[in-house]
Every structure is written in C-alpha cells, then in structure tokens.
Amino acid sequence: MESILEVNDLSVYYGVIQALKGISFKVNKGEVVALIGANGAGKTTILHTLSGLIKADAGLIKYKGEEITKIPGHKIVSMGMAQVPEGRRVFAEMTVLQNLKMGAYTRDNSAEFQETLEKIYTRFPRLKERAGQLAGTLSGGEQQMLAMGRALMSHPDIILMDEPSMGLSPIFVNEIFNIIRDVNNDGVTVLLVEQNAKKALSIANRAYVLETGKIVKEGNAADLLNDEAIKKAYLGE
C-alpha cells in the first residue's frame, strides 16, 4: 500500500524531558490509523510535531514522499494536512460561518469555497441551521462538528484528530465516530488520537499503542481489540 505519512525515529524534548523516544510509524493512503495510550503517553505531541506546531529534535517526517520535518505549520496545511485540535478550539467570538471560512484560508477560489461549504452543510446540517450563531454558544458536540467542518474546508488529504470524543455525551460520541467513518469513506485518510480506545479501534484499520513516549505495540485494530493485555490496560475489561 502507498503510504501518505511516514515517521522515522522521531524524538521530541520538552526541556530535559524526552516526550517522544524514537517513534516510527506510517499511515497508508485511505486508512484510519489510531494512536492509543494513557494520558501523557505522547499522543498529542506526535500530532503537534506532524503539523509543525512543535519542532522535532531528531528524526524524519515524510508526507506524500516529501520531507516536512522542518516545514512551518501554515505551509503544511496548504499541502493537504489538516488538524482537529484537542478541546475543539473554535473561535468563540466568531460565527459558525466565519469559523468555516477560517478553515478555507489556504484556498482563494470563491466558487470552490461555496461548493465545499455546501458539502459541509450537507454533512453537518446543524452547522447550516446555526451558520449565524456565535461558535461559543454551541454545545460541545456542535463545537466538535464545527472543528471538523473547519478542518475539512481546506480539502485535506489527511486529517489529524486529537481526542474528538473528549467531554461529549455518549450520543454525540457515536455521532462523531460515524462522521469520522464517513469522512474516511469519502477518501480522506485519518490519523486519530483517542482516549476512548474501544471506539477508536472499532473504526480504525490499524493502531499503535503508546506508553511514555514509545510505541509498545502495533497491529490490526481488530486484533488489538481482542488482545488481552490491551483489553486490561485500555478497554476497561
């Protein structure tokens, strides 16, 4: 399979603390790949390093065959990589529509913008209903949909999702995971960081398990779902 993202021997330090210890993994085109692990395992640090928000201290990141290890974040977005950050991070004082426009800042074709916006509204009817509403007044689940819609406005080839189910009611959790599956079915590759390991593994093709900055296990998501050690550590079984 053709890989869209390759990470080789990635190390990141916060001062004297090594957050990532020689991480290597790959994401193939069209896959959903999950990164699972406890809080503080380094999952978010990986995403921030991939999207250029944190600089790698060592190692190599290749995206679509091109090295992007030292490329700044805004350039990475224009190359087709979008991120849905942890905690949603919508622009609270802006309307839903203004937030979506922010997601399309790398695209200057207004006809294409309108077409993409209609697609987002079809996928997230609630956002259409609330287009003029301030983002800060939406519910947690609606803000998560807005964060996803905003990321999709940039026409990404791969979307990095950081804890999309965090703080959501069970009904919204199911809805968000169904949307991730639909987005993937439309051809967008997904790298998913998620504390709800069961949900993540249920929609992923493959997964990597992180412990204190190292990958300790990898495999098909279905196999990991049935792995006794994984069940005990992450699935509450």
Instruction: Please list, in sequence order, all residues whose beta carbon lies within 8 angstroms of the beta carbon of residue 23, skipping any fewer than 6 positions away.
Output: 7, 9, 10, 11, 42, 46, 59, 210, 213, 214, 215
> Residue 107 has what pLDDT?
66
- Does residue 191 carry a pLDDT above 90? yes
Specify the higher pLDDT residue, 7 or 231: 7
| pTM metric for this prediction | 0.92
> Residue 4 has what pLDDT?
97
> Residue 112 has what pLDDT?
81
> Residue 209 has what pLDDT?
94
Residue whose tokens read 């200057």: 108
Sheet of 32-37: strand order equals: 81-84, 158-162, 189-193, 32-37, 206-211, 214-220
- Does residue 60 carry a pLDDT above 80? yes
Q: For Cα atoms 22, 27, 30, give the angle at the middle one, nearest 5 degrees.
A: 170
Specify the higher pLDDT residue, 113 or 188: 188
What is the average pLDDT across 2-25?
95
> Residue 108 has what pLDDT?
65
What is the average pLDDT across 33-49?
91
CA atoms within 13 A on the CB side of 231: 7
- The one-letter code for the residue type at 196 is N
DSSP bridge partners of 26: 6
Both tokens assigned to 50 = 């991939």
What is the average pLDDT across 124-149?
94
User: In which domain, by residue range, is 168 found?
Assistant: 3-234
Q: How many structural domains are present in the chain?
A: 1
- Does residue 46 carry a pLDDT above 90? yes
- Does residue 195 carry a pLDDT above 90? no
CATH (domain of 174): 3.40.50.300
Cβ atoms < 10 Å from Cβ of 84: 26
Q: Print burial letters for 8-25: b (CB count within 10 Å at least 16), e (below 16).
A: eebbbeeeeebbbeebeb
Q: Are 27 and 189 in contact (CB under 8 A)?
A: yes
SS3 226: coil
